[in-house]
């Protein structure tokens, strides 16, 4: 067990899986000679060479389409999208091909494919480079969508994703690469599709994932000083969605808020709240509140951008509101 960054945890997962299985290779923009635009694959090119660390043209259809083809014939590519915003250029491959080829051909093709993508706002990159569109991708059956909130989960989930025979979109947050946490050395696997209680509490349930986990943990510490103990359930996987820990927690606290970085309308929170109302209506003691991004394209200006993104005080205020 060592305290390492999210970046190191992801890097470790990739290199361990490449060492373990020669079918695993990486392809994407600037993953090789450059070392990865977020330095996740720094040193990989020298260690593994150009055949296993493939620098691609800036051509997202070729990257994801190409990775799909290679996966169909038995390789295990990890394709990297420099940012998830570029997934829109390759939308057909993510939602129309990766998520459907197994089903549509009666199970003949399998796609052991991981698409790593960096998402999230907060870096003043302007509206087209700062999105958190996770819910869009989680909408499609056939695709699995994973988005870790701690270095430990990042390592365990990515290693499992690479070993999975399903196409998996693995979403990392651009502002979380320096987050530190305890991560087990070597072999460490976490099942895809399992939510986890990251903090125990009795007064209310906060359902969240990825960046929302970081914010919610901070909010919970503040609330604790005022005698409010929040239980935090981290979804970790958006599809398939594991509601069991959420419902179990809610049946105990009877009050919940949902925290996500994407827009509120048609978002992850909408799904979670609907499911709670459908499956635990008798346990509802207060209307559930959704914390999400303001309904605007993210602006460049730092003050405006931060005003649009969910913040710790928003969570604290919502927690007090549901406890009224």
Partner 1 sequence: MKKEQQLGLYHQMVLIRRVEERGAELYQQGKIGGFMHLYIGQEAVSTGLIAAREPRDRVITAYRDHGVALNCGLSPNQVMAELLGKSTGMSKGKGGSMHMASVEKNFWGGHAIVGGHLPVAAGLAVGDQYAKNDNVTICMFGDGATNIGYFHEALNLAKAWGLRVLWVCENNKYGMGTSVERASAVGEIRQKADGYGMGSERVDGMDVMKVYDAAKNAIEQVRRESTPYFLEVVTYRYRGHSMGDPERYRTQDEVKKWQLNDPIGIFRKYLMDKKVANAKALDEIDARAADEVNKAVEFAEASPEPALEELFTDIYVD
Q: Active-site residues: which are they?
A: 60, 129
Task: Assess 93 for contact with partner 1 (CB under 8 A).
Answer: yes
Task: Assess 59 for contact with partner 1 (CB under 8 A).
Answer: yes
Q: What is the DSSP string of 99-134?
A: TTHHHHTTT------EEEEEE---S---GGG----H
Query: What are the tokens at 256?
Result: 């919940």
Task: Assess 68 for contact with partner 1 (CB under 8 A).
Answer: yes
Q: Is residue 176 classed as helix, strand or coil in its secondary structure?
A: coil
Taking the least distance from each CB to partner 1, the nearer of 96 and 265 is 96
Cβ neighbours for 305, distance < 8 A, ≥ 6 positions apart: 121, 122, 124, 130, 298, 299
d(CA 47, CA 45): 5
> How many residues in the shown chain lie near partner 1 by CB under 8 A?
44
Q: Which of 142, 168, 16, 171 is nearest to 84 (CA)?
A: 171
Q: Is residue 213 classed as helix, strand or coil in its secondary structure?
A: helix
Least Å from the CB of residue 57 to partner 1:
6
Taking the least distance from each CB to partner 1, the nearer of 104 and 304 is 104
- Which of 19, 21, 46, 92 touches partner 1 (CB under 8 A)? 92
Which range in 30-38, 69-77, 213-221, 224-232 contacts partner 1 by CB under 8 A?
69-77
- The packing angle between helices 211-225 and 312-322, to 10°, is 60
Neighbours of 109 (CB within 10 A): 15
Q: Is residue 188 classed as helix, strand or coil in its secondary structure?
A: coil
Contact flags string 240-269 toward partner 1, x per CB under 8 A? x-----------------------------
- Which of 11, 12, 41, 56 touches partner 1 (CB under 8 A)? 56
Task: Assess 34 for contact with partner 1 (CB under 8 A).
Answer: no
Taking the least distance from each CB to partner 1, the nearer of 71 and 309 is 71
Least Å from the CB of residue 279 to partner 1:
20
Give the interface with partner 1 as residue ranges (CB under 8 A). 25, 27, 51, 54, 56-57, 59, 61-62, 64-75, 77, 92-93, 96-97, 101-110, 141-142, 144, 164-166, 192, 240
């Amino acid at each position: 067990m060592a305290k390492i960054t999210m970046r190191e945890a992801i890097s470790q997962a990739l290199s361990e899986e490449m060492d373990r299985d020669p079918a695993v290779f990486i392809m994407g923009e600037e993953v090789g000679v450059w070392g990865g635009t977020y330095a996740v694959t720094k040193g990989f090119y020298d260690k593994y060479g150009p055949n296993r660390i493939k620098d691609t043209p800036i051509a997202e259809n070729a990257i994801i389409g190409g990775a799909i083809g290679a996966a169909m014939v038995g390789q295990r590519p990890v394709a990297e999208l420099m940012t998830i915003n570029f997934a829109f250029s390759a939308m057909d491959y993510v939602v129309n091909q990766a998520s459907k080829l197994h089903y549509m051909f009666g199970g003949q093709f399998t796609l052991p494919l991981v698409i790593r993508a960096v998402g999230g706002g907060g870096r003043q990159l302007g509206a087209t480079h700062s999105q958190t569109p996770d819910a869009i991708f989680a909408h499609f059956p056939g695709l699995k969508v994973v988005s870790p909130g701690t270095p430990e989960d990042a390592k365990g989930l990515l290693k499992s994703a690479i070993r999975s025979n399903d196409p998996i979109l693995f979403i990392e947050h651009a502002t979380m690469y320096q987050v530190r946490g305890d991560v087990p050395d070597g072999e460490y696997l976490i099942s895809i599709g399992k939510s986890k209680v990251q903090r125990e509490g009795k007064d209310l349930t906060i359902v969240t994932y990825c960046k929302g986990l970081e914010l919610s943990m901070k909010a919970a510490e503040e609330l604790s000083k005022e005698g409010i103990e929040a239980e935090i359930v981290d979804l970790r996987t958006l599809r398939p969605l594991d509601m069991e820990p959420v419902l179990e927690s809610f049946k105990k606290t009877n009050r919940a808020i949902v925290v996500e970085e994407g827009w509120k309308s048609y978002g992850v929170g909408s799904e979670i709240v609907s499911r709670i109302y459908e499956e635990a209506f008798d346990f509802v003691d207060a209307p559930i509140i959704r914390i999400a991004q303001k309904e605007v394209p993210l602006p460049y200006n730092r003050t405006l951008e931060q005003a649009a993104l969910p913040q710790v005080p928003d969570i604290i205020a919502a927690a007090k509101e549901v406890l009224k």
